[in-house]
Amino acid sequence: MRNSGFAVDGIIKLLLAVAGFIFLGGLEDFFLAPRWLVITALVLLFLSAATQISYAVGKGEKRYLKFPMVFDALLIVAVVVGLILAAAGNPAGAWVLFGLVGVGSLGIAVVFTTGENGPSFSEDESPNS
């Protein structure tokens, strides 16, 4: 069950990133955001989602479930704050929302690809031994 939770969360993030690229112009206009900020955040979200799905397929240990849950909770807060600021015509909403998406996505990708979560090269048998 926990593997499917990781995978579903990753797939939802992947779909959000793709939808973000489809509506890139609208996101820029509504949030008064620079294009590079939106593209960077969406690329990092896409890569983070792919990393999360890969982790779910490979390991999916329950003890790392807290990281995507914290990211998702902070993402909801950032969306609300970003929407309020953008509705008021303040470009800070873009920086709050897309900044958190970029930094949080990078953090999730790092957690799932480094240390004991990363690939285990020592388990592979070399042809020389």
pLDDT in tens, the chain (129 residues): 556 777 888 899 999 999 999 999 999 999 999 999 999 999 999 999 988 888 877 776 666 778 888 899 999 999 999 999 999 999 999 999 999 999 999 988 888 887 565 555 555 555 555
pLDDT number for residue 117: 58
With a CB cutoff of 8 Å and minimum separation 6, the contacts of 67 are: 107, 108, 111, 112
> pTM of the full predicted structure?
0.83
pLDDT number for residue 57: 77
